[in-house]
Amino acid sequence: MTTGTLITVAPTGAESAKTEVPALPVTLDELLLTAKECEALGAAVIHVHIRDDEARPTLDLGRLRATVAALRESTDLIVQLSTGGAVTDPEADRLAVLEAAPDMASCTMGTVNFGDEVFLNRWEFVVELHTRMQERGIVPEYEIFDLGHLGALQRLLGKYGLPHGGHVHVDFVMGVPGGMPGTTATLVAAQQMLRDLPEGTTFSATGIGRTSLPVLLAALSAGGHLRVGMEDTVTYAKGRPVESNMQLVARAVGFAQLAQRPPLNTAEARVLLGL
């Protein structure tokens, strides 16, 4: 059964520089304002990367804790912390993100070339993330950068059991140079592979850069959910920089409504995700 659309906003990421993308929210105040406005537009989940005082990506635990608390106080959004961080972040720091006790956290299902870099996710590390989240009652979002990552997820769940809450939700991150392409054909292939995962597994999708719109449209028509935000694209249309995360969320909401799959509110999203 096709339901409404879960909309996740990923407002910041670890890759863009504030100097090059001034609209990127990097301070706590900027993040909170973005979060409130995106929630009002229809987002239900926020995927969070934070920055330090120089706007550099950081996994500082004190800041992460303060960010989770502030988001909970100002919004009803489901707070999902990134354990992916930046490609340079050590595994120990990425695991320690869970100490900030978010509602959800990302769990990338394997290593992938990431432009000119490598986003390293060793099997033992993935297992550690998954089992620590089970122990702490944190719901994972499994990040799928390539089709083989779905095979890894099948193996993970088979060996170590279902995530906290019992529901499996994956996010197809498409169009990363080195990962799966951001095309309809690839999205359909990825969706078909979900048949090997527990019944009821849901997916969202996001397309990096210029694959953002094709992936959004393919995901909506396939019954999937949406992730949008300046982590993934900073260009709204050819020659037009994104003005704000709200612009991207508003566009996603518009398409979801056109598809007669309106945005899920935060309470509905919690039910869907098993929170």
Place of tokens 């990338």: 108
Place of tokens 């990040």: 143
Residue 67 interacts with ligand KMH (CB under 6 A)? no
Q: Which two tokens stand for residue 187?
A: 């999205």
| 235-237/240-241 β-pairing | antiparallel
Which range binds ligand KMH by CB under 6 A, 31-39, 83-91, 214-222, 263-271? 83-91
* Number of chain positions touching Zn ion (CB under 5 A): 2
Radius of gyration from C-alpha coordinates of the chain: 17
Residue 12 interacts with Zn ion (CB under 5 A)? no
Residue 111 interacts with ligand KMH (CB under 6 A)? no
Residue 14 interacts with ligand KMH (CB under 6 A)? yes
Residue 59 interacts with ligand KMH (CB under 6 A)? no
Among 108, 111, 233, 245, binds ligand KMH (CB under 6 A): 108
**Span between the terminal Cα atoms of the chain, in Å:** 20
Which range binds ligand KMH by CB under 6 A, 22-30, 60-68, 79-87, 259-267? 79-87
Q: Which residues pair with 108 in a beta bridge?
A: 143
Distance from chain centroid for Cα 207: 11
Angstrom distance (rounded) from CA 258 to CA 252: 10
Name, in order, each residue with C-beta under 8 angstroms of 40's C-beta and a sequence gap of 6 or more.
none
| Cβ proximity to ligand KMH, 114 vs 236, nearer residue | 114
Angstrom distance (rounded) from CA 139 to CA 118: 26
Residue 67 interacts with Zn ion (CB under 5 A)? no
| Cβ proximity to Zn ion, 84 vs 179, nearer residue | 84
Residue 86 interacts with ligand KMH (CB under 6 A)? yes
Residue 233 interacts with Zn ion (CB under 5 A)? no
Residue 201 interacts with Zn ion (CB under 5 A)? no
Residues at the site binding Zn ion, with contacts judged by CB under 5 A: 82, 84
